[in-house]
Structure 1
Amino acid sequence: MTTVDANGIVSGIESFGDSDAPLVLLAGAPTMLSWPDALCERLAAGGRRVVRYDLRDSGASTATDPQAPPYGLRDLAADAAALADTLGGGPAHLAGIGVGGMVAQVAVLDHPEAFSALTLVGTRAVAPGPPDDDLPDHDRATMNRLFARPMPDWTDREAVAEFAAAGAAILGDDPVTARTVAARIWDRTPGTAPAVHRANQMGMVFSRLDCTPRWRERLPEIDVPTLVVHGRRDPFFPVGNGEAIAREIPGARLLVLPEAATAIPDAAVGEVTEVMLGLG
């Protein structure tokens, strides 16, 4: 892991594969560890240079104030384009997961010259908050269980890891994997402030981020090969959100993972990798 300066921002990155191979850039949600190690390694073995990176206010990237971010969604999109340019090698295959998928959509719309393909995993085409009337919202019962829990001591690594594991079980993800990833995120979080740890673990900055103007109506402008991956059991962004994106981006392929919720499970890594490599 290292850092790269692009767009006046320091981005924490981790690279896999041959530095001369075509670039696949993975936007975190918000940390790079939202992307499974196994997926990065499989993509690299398939002849790609894979770089996963932290969004601002997470991991090793530029930190400001996650409770009052002095930037918006379009700034994060510009970061992605600048990072692709700085890393070099021509237009990149950009992938975003969760809220990182929002960044990826806007990046390809605002900076089409920077990207050659797009993968969107477990995301939606509208900003955090109430969705459009035709899109399914978070599953209410699941959210009630998820957010009714008392917050952990964010300065206690083990408490945070256990909190993440319990949350994953509620969402339908693997709690063992979630516990391990949460501990790794905790280790990479800059500083000790509870608000910063919470932002790194839960992506709270997006609830306070300026995501205007809307971009859903622009999805038909996307003209790069696009893959939309969504878990059939996702209660946070239910699968109807992925189906809508796939309908609205011309030629997009929809891959629904029948046993997945919000994360890419180990059992699906091979299939997701194969389809991503097929995009070019």
Structure 2
Amino acid sequence: MPYASAADGAALYYTVQGRDDGEPLVLIAGQSNGHRWWDAALEDFTSTFRVITMDHRGIGGSDKPDDDSYSTRNFAADVVAVLDAAGAGRAHVYGTSMGGRVAQWVAADHPHRVDRLVLGCTSPGGPHAVRRAESVSRSLTQYSARAVRQALLDLMYTPAWLAEHPGPYRTIGERGTPPHVLRKHRIASARHDAWDVLPTITAPTLVVHGTDDAFNPTANAPLLAERIPGARLHLIPGARHAYFEERRDLAGPLVRDFLSSVDR
């Protein structure tokens, strides 16, 4: 199995799929998730791009250190280590949820490595971000694991979609993740604040969000689009947090066309 070595020596599991001659595209998963986050949407990109996915540190096949290395900015450095290992000097970067927070740091700290940037269902973090409702946060801290799972599913997908798709669901956390990793991922995402560096991002940027996203409120999307020079904004009507899966009929072509466009 392919592994990259992070700056601190942590082993990072990654995969490469798609066209050998395609432009590199790295897909970055959400909090407490790894490369399987993208399973349902992967085919939207493999026919066009050389697609790189990875397990964040602490997740899946990657090392799980119990230290202070968990932050969205350090996760961004991990992404660059994976690009190095995969032989991708420059790549398109598409991150969703916490992966979108990580992608902001990749673009800000490593501009020469980013061709085009897509930020999905994410936020700038810090005091400028629009926080989710307290009722949503409470639903994710219930005593019953089954109740928390259902709350997550309801935040990710519409009831109609869930009724027709019995799973498995790849967006509600990687199974078997150690408690210390779950805690550190949660803290890393909560502490994200890239507000001050967003205006320095030079990569052409697309911001995508579902209009019915209560997990990461939709109001964060225009904040990002207004803060990043020249960024485009696209809202997907009726979509919740996992818009890239439930509404891949819209999201897949939208992102693919943006990444493939020639107005660079």
TM-score normalized with structure 1 length: 0.78
Cα distance change on mapping 1:170 and 1:251 into 2, 3 Å: closer
Structural RMSD (CA): 2.8
Q: Which runs of 5+ in 2 are unaligned?
A: none
Superposed, 1:180-191 pairs within 5 Å as 180-181=169-170, 185-186=174-175, 189=176
- Check conservation: 1:27, 1:53, Cα contact below 8 A: yes
Give the letter aligned to residue 58 of structure 1. Answer: I
Cα distance change on mapping 1:181 and 1:210 into 2, 3 Å: closer
Counterparts of 1:246 and 1:229, CA distance in 2:
9
Superposed, 1:15-34 pairs within 5 Å as 15-30=16-31, 31-33=33-35
TM-score normalized with structure 2 length: 0.83
Greater helix share, structure number: 1
1:76-119 CA-partner distances (Å, limit 9, x unpaired): 11111221122124310111111111111011100111111111
Q: Does 1:37 align with 2:31?
A: no
1:125-149 CA-partner distances (Å, limit 9, x unpaired): 115xxx32xx4210222323332x2
Identity of matched residues, %: 26
TM-aligned CA deviation for residue 29 of structure 1: 1.3
Q: Does 1:260 align with 2:239?
A: yes
Counterparts of 2:49 and 2:102, CA distance in 1:
22
1:191-222 CA-partner distances (Å, limit 9, x unpaired): xx5x16x82xxxx4233339879421221111
Show the counterpart of 2:130: 136
TM-aligned CA deviation for residue 34 of structure 1: 6.2
Show the counterpart of 2:154: 169
Report the count of equivalent residues.
252
Q: Which runs of 5+ in 1 are unaligned?
A: 153-158
1:226-273 CA-partner distances (Å, limit 9, x unpaired): 111111111121111111001111111111111211112545213222
Q: Does 1:91 align with 2:84?
A: no
Q: Does 1:243 align with 2:222?
A: yes
Which shows bigger deviation, 249-258 or 212-221?
A: 212-221
